[in-house]
Structure 1
């Protein structure tokens, strides 16, 4: 049996960054394909599909992967997480179908939304397997999945658009790609990790596992134990609301743009704003690699290690933000001309505003990962209610008068609110560690 040892933080970051780089480039390539083969309206349709499905999926996912990864005490097993994720994914598809039928969109737009929802359902199930792999600090397995998934998604989406001349064909191609990755890669790696984990267990534990095949960590099958799932739902529900609010905070400007300015302006805004992902993939790679270690430091009550690592992460976020703003100001117009079309380059000022918001968002994201690693779950719900409310109010006042630039300013306002209050929570978490270091009791707060 192949033995899988945890990788170092440096190697995990390298793998995760590479995987996210390939995947993000492929996702950006999808927008380029739609912009080059079609029009801003087609980009707008695709973006609207993502904007409608994302908050629903984010809520029903309950951010189980983060809870799974930071479950340093092993309170739940993989079968529990998988069982709850399957229930949530089925519920999400029903909600998305209901929205699609009731919202009054054009039939083509409705088909795009439903196809993207199906793709995200496959992605949601894969995410639980990634949580298992991340928990064992083998980010190389996830990175390889992303490096296959990204180009395959781009290929099938491009073929779908070329053959059908419609975004619908592209969205169906995307769903097929993500389904294939789940079936032929993610399930295989999940089984490998679970089998490897069982090798290190005591013989007596394995006998219990054989007697009760849904109750052990080496079970690849879902478990639906009502009492256990009820406890897990209560633990995860605040984070489900938080992730929905985070998604809404990102997508609320898109709803307002589509409502007041139309699908064309939405397409232009979405294409330019996607360049924020260049920094986000660095943030995601580093934060995902560091999360298990942050959780371990916090569980052990090591305030120095936890605070030092958080400081380094925030410093990276600041550097990325400053670099992005400089690039957008100095070379924004030629970059947009090269990547898209001249009509996008005419909005170089929007690019600069969006990068300001992105920089603040990078810092906020690192702080958010820190809160989750410390298992400060419930406090995140009122925090993001405030963040989302601030963004929505700003959109309501600014977009009708200032257009897409108003949407960028609204994102900046939301990011500032998030950064300030997230910093306060992290400061309190470190204070709690220092307090409990004296008593040697665990500082968990959920």
Structure 2
């Protein structure tokens, strides 16, 4: 079997950008489809389904993909990550069902939320396979999966909407599409990566009698040259590496490591979705649909941000782990500069041609909210820079500081929504997003500065 060698950062970015472009375009196409074939109320139902399920899924995911991708010392095996993800996903489905039953939504809206929750459960399992692939710097495999997943999602959602004339049918179609991609593509890619990795370990062992570090060993030993059992005979590893492992001691340590990031991701998701909750409560599903459709255009820049950040994360982690603060700082602030440039471009486009763009993409009633488009692009620019800084904190393994940071961000956003939305409408929601993004960027920059200072001091003592 041919070994799957890591790709260069340039090639990983190119593949990730292409994959995210196709996938984000397809995701946006879903909203366009609902806006063209249906009504703002239908868009609002779909947006609410995403808003209710996202924070729960983000919490139970525990950001395992980022931890897995930046696990430069290979402290845990894939089976540990998969086992914990399956537990978390099952818990998420129960929580989503409980929220839906207790919230008192209309029955059709409740069905939409439950169907989207099921779809996100399949996506969550795919995500842990993407973490494995990202760790081995083969973003082409993820990109190809996304390029299949995006159009297939749009197709199945379209079929569901056209057959049932409801968002419920579209959401069920979405769940089916994501299940198909998981089974037919993502699991297969994961198996190829694991087999290639095992072959490399076997060859290294046969050549030297050692491997760099024992995967799955959680001792505090700093000896990286200990003779080990051959990897293919190691009882700690499952014979089928695609099977989940539920070792309570190992899972406990992994949960303790990842739990702060689970709270962080929940808070980040709440921060972006809190305006949607307030809009649905104060202004109704129609205004939520308009806000959701316009705000999704922020994804155009986020697509570039995600592609760059996901491609650069393993390298940032390696720089920091190696004590190379100069390389870490240079790469990170180049990324932040890209975020600022993307944000400025988005604001300029919204100011010059916002009304025309919204009317062309959706309907005239959306074009009447051109000023909302400008405010959302300002929020997007701040969010892009903050997102890069967040990836930098994760690469530096600064997990626990993120919890109070994003609690502050979410609190400031919620207070802003409570104050601004009843008086300013959807424009107040956009301003609340800006407030949250400014708070996030400011405190994230402080955490990064501390991480770099700490690394420099440690390097000097050595």
Per the normalisation by structure 1, the TM-score is 0.97
Match of residue 423 from structure 2: 401
Structure 2 unaligned regions, length at least 5: 210-227
Partner residue of 1:220 out of 242, 249, 267: 242
Partner residue of 2:382 out of 337, 360, 368: 360
Partner residue of 1:378 out of 390, 400, 411: 400
State the 1:327 CA deviation.
0.4
Match of residue 213 from structure 2: none
Match of residue 12 from structure 1: 12
Question: Distance in 2 between the 1:210 and 1:179 partners?
Answer: 33
| Preserved contact between residue 40 and residue 286 of structure 2 (Cα < 8 Å) | yes
Match of residue 444 from structure 1: none
Counting only pairs closer than 5 Å after superposition, residues 199-348 of structure 1 correspond to structure 2 as 199-201=199-201, 202=205, 207=230, 209-210=232-233, 212=235, 214-215=237-238, 219-348=241-370
**Number of aligned residues:** 439
Question: Distance in 1 between the 2:325 and 2:91 partners?
Answer: 40
**Alignment root-mean-square deviation, CA:** 1.2
Deviations for 1:105-138, whole angstroms, at most 9, x for unmatched residues?
A: 1111111000000000000000000000000000
State the 1:309 CA deviation.
0.2
Q: Which structure 1 residue ranges, 4+ long, deviate > 3 Å from structure 2?
A: 203-211, 213-216
State the 1:209 CA deviation.
3.8
State the 1:102 CA deviation.
1.4
Match of residue 443 from structure 1: none
For residues 87 and 398 of structure 1, do their structure 2 counterparts lie closer, same or farther at Cα, with a shift above 3 Å needed?
A: same
Match of residue 221 from structure 2: none
Question: Distance in 2 between the 1:243 and 1:211 partners?
Answer: 35
| Preserved contact between residue 321 and residue 359 of structure 1 (Cα < 8 Å) | yes
Structure 2 SS opposite 1:200: helix
Structure 1 unaligned regions, length at least 5: 441-446
| Preserved contact between residue 96 and residue 114 of structure 1 (Cα < 8 Å) | yes
Deviations for 1:176-221, whole angstroms, at most 9, x for unmatched residues?
A: 00000000000000000000001111257675544526458x7111
| Preserved contact between residue 198 and residue 232 of structure 2 (Cα < 8 Å) | no
| Preserved contact between residue 214 and residue 222 of structure 1 (Cα < 8 Å) | no
Question: Distance in 1 between the 2:234 and 2:443 partners?
Answer: 48
Question: Distance in 2 between the 1:131 and 1:272 partners?
Answer: 30
Question: Distance in 1 between the 2:32 and 2:236 partners?
Answer: 47
Question: Distance in 1 between the 2:314 and 2:235 partners?
Answer: 29
